[in-house]
Amino acid sequence: MVDDLDSLFDEGLPKGRKVMSFLKVAYDCGSQGLVNRSITDKVIQKSGLKFHIGTDDPTMRRIASWILTHHEDRIDDLIKRLWKRCGREDVKLIGLLIANTEGDAWGKILEIIDKGIPLDLLLELAEEIKRSGREIPSAAYLQEWNASKIQMQNAMLIASLDMKDEYLDIIRNAPKGGELFERIRHRSLNK
């Protein structure tokens, strides 16, 4: 049986600006367990993201898999467009695409994320990259990402996923963050 997402995929990935509308429709095709307008509206206001549809993980993985399989040559352009629009699902899709393509996934994430996003979303991206079989980078590598407060905080969060003694300076010296960020720092330093 063909579902709405398969029917949408049959249309193919449009070019230009239409691709972003196409992807937003794709996000809406899955079972939306999180869709509760009043909750998602509040989440959007505080997150700095353009939208939060509540697309489930299996749907997000299907979309990423389809792009990786049929439109691999367009991934770099898509990532730039997705980050510019910056909806929650856009950021999740960026993580799935980066985690499943060749190259320095950690560097790509640290480079592209140049503004604050919800902490749980960043950790989800990092976990996706780790799940793809990539080791957490060395402390020396992570310390190179210190051009901005955001990069330094993101490097700390990545280091916290596999806390080793070599990461202590990164954890200690990362700029102050919110309550959850500071709990992660505290937990990492007290392992």
Residue 52's pLDDT is 81
Average pLDDT per 10 consecutive residues for the chain, totaling 191 residues: 80 94 90 50 61 89 97 96 95 97 96 92 94 95 93 96 93 95 94 75
- How far apart CA 179 and CA 182 sit, in angstroms, is 5
Q: How many residues does the chain have?
A: 191
Residue 53's pLDDT is 86
56 touches 32 (CB < 8 A): yes
Put simply, whether the predicted model's pTM sits higher than 0.85 gets the answer: yes
- How far apart CA 183 and CA 166 sit, in angstroms, is 20
Residue 56 exposure: Cα atoms within 13 Å on the Cβ side: 8
Closest CA to 67 of 93, 41, 87: 93
Residue 4's pLDDT is 87
Residue 42's pLDDT is 52
Residue 33's pLDDT is 46
CA dihedral 57, 111, 85, 158 (to 10 degrees): 30
- For the chain, give every domain's residue range: 1-101
Q: Residue 115 has what DSSP assignment?
A: S
CA dihedral 158, 162, 164, 166 (to 10 degrees): -30
Phi, psi of 183 (to 5 degrees): -65, -40
> In a 3-state reduction of DSSP, which class is residue 92?
helix
